[in-house]
Amino acid sequence: MSPAKRFAFFLPNIFTGLNMACGFSSMVFATRGMHYEAAMILILGAIFDSVDGRVARLTGTSSHFGEQFDSLSDAVSFGVAPAFLIYQKYLLNYGRLGAVISFFYLLCAALRLARFNANITKVRSDFFQGLPSPGAALGMIGLILLADKFPQLNEYSEYTLGYTAIYALLMITTIPFHSFKDSDFVRRHKRAILFFFFVGAALTVIYYQVMFALGMAIYVLFSLFYYLYKIKEFGDAFQWSEDSDS
CB atoms under 10 Å from CB of 143, counted, come to 25
Q: What is the rounded distance in angstroms from the CA atom of residue 201 to the CA atom of residue 178? A: 18
CA 189 to CA 211: how far, in whole Å?
A: 23
pLDDT greater than 60 at residue 150: yes
Segment 1-8 shows an average pLDDT of 67
- The arithmetic mean of pLDDT across residues 50-56, rounded, is 83
- Degrees, nearest 5: CA angle 243-116-68: 110
What pLDDT does residue 219 have? 93
- The whole-number average pLDDT for the span 177-187 is 73
The whole-model pTM stands at 0.87
State pLDDT tens for residues 73-128.
999 999 999 999 999 999 999 999 999 999 999 999 999 999 888 876 666 667 78
Model pLDDT, residue 39: 96
CATH architecture entry for 3-234:
Up-down Bundle (1.20)
- Is 70 exceeded by the pLDDT of residue 239? no
